[in-house]
Structure formats: C-alpha cells, structure tokens
Amino acid sequence: IIGAGGHGKVCAEIAELNGYKEIVFLDNDINKTTCLGYPIKGNNKDVEKFISKGYDVFVAIGNNKIRKDISENINQLVTLIHPQSVISNTCTIEKGTVIMPNVVINSSCKIGKGVIINTAATIDHDCTISDYVHISPGAHLGGTCYIGEKAWIGLGSSVINNIEIEKDAIIGAGSVIIRKVEKGMKYVGNPAKMIGGGGN
C-alpha cells in the first residue's frame, strides 16, 4: 500500500477483509516506521522492488492528482471492495479503486480507475464516475450523473439526477448540485453556486 496515512489505514483494513495476509506500506515520510501495526518498508519509489516479488499494489493517497501521478506507472494495481458494500452485478469497476463500507452502487454504473467511493456514499443507476474521482463519505448521486476525472464530491453532498460535473471540479461539503458544474471550479451551498477555482 502506497501511503501510510489515515486513508491507508482504512484501505489496509479492507485489504485484510479481502483476504490479504501480508501487508506492507511505502511512504515518503522518513519519520514513519509502521502504520496500523504493519511495517513501512521504503518510499514510493521502492514499489518496483515489491512488484518484482509478486506483490499486489494499492495507492492509498487521498489527493486525486497525486494518486493519478503515482498510479499511472503501475500495472499491478488491485481493487479493494469492502464486503459490507452493495454493488449491482451490472456495474463495471476499474483497477486501483476502493469502495468503502455501506456504499451502495446501483445498476449499470461505470466506475473508473483509482476512484475513492467513501463510507456510506450512494450512486444511483447509470452513473459514470471517471478516473481518480473522490466521492466523500455520505455523498449521494442521483441516476445518470457523469463525474469527470479528478473531481472531488464533498462530504454529505447531494447531486440530483442527470447532472454533469466536469473534471477537476470540487463540490463543498453538504452542497446540493442541481445544475452542471464547470471544469476546475468549486461549488458550495444549497443550491450550490460557483465560488472560484477548484485548485485540484
């Protein structure tokens, strides 16, 4: 697991539930030696050494851009799905994605690479979640929404059906999205309004 922070801890616990018996972390913070009782055995650049030994790899970095930059060069990425999530068997999920507990994903959704779908988020039918998106805890998407690459959907926010959120946009916590969200912009409030650049 690349990234020995809070997100890495949660991903490690899901990896355990997925049957992994041996877990090691890589992290660029030289002051860290363990995470959740598991050893930190190097920095991010050491990943090839572990790949050559047959290890699976997961990138547990919350920042969408950094997660993309690290993941793009790794072919051995795995997907971690918490057993207490509910996912339609008509959905597709790409590698490097994590799905947290109590998530619900309904029929015919497409989930891209390196996506975080966090605790108790819900995604209704026919949604497309592009690569390296973060859907925060308790966020809810109506049916047939499109979420662009590296967008961040904030804690407890709601997106009504048939909405497009363009790449690199940020939706503030608790916001309600009722119209299209422009590329790279930040929206907050109920109903949400643009307040400036997303900075993602």
For residue 34, the model assigns a pLDDT of: 94
Write out the DSSP string of 115-137. -EE-TT-EE-TT-EE-TT-EE-T
Residues involved in catalysis? 125
For residue 115, the model assigns a pLDDT of: 98
For residue 196, the model assigns a pLDDT of: 87
The angle formed by the CA atoms of residues 19, 24 and 100, to the nearest 5 degrees, is 50
Which tokens is 54 given? 């047959």
For residue 198, the model assigns a pLDDT of: 63
For residue 200, the model assigns a pLDDT of: 54
Nearest C-alpha neighbor of 155 from the set 176, 180, 135, 131: 135
Cis peptide leading into residue 191 (ω within 30°):
yes
DSSP lists the bridge partners of residue 145 as none
- Stretch 59-65: mean pLDDT, rounded? 97
Q: What integer best gives the mean pLDDT of the chain?
A: 96
- Stretch 185-195: mean pLDDT, rounded? 96
CA dihedral for 200, 97, 50, 16, sign (positive or negative): positive
Per-residue pLDDT tens for 85-144?
999 999 999 999 999 999 999 999 999 999 999 999 999 999 999 999 999 999 999 999
Under DSSP, the state recorded for 60 is -
Reduced to 3 states (helix: H, G, I; strand: E, B; else coil), residue 46 is helix
Residue 65, C-beta contacts closer than 8 angstroms, at least 6 positions apart: 132, 150, 200
Instruction: Band the pLDDT of 73: cuts 50, 70, 90.
Output: confident
Under DSSP, the state recorded for 1 is -
Asked if residue 47 has pLDDT above 60, the reply is: yes
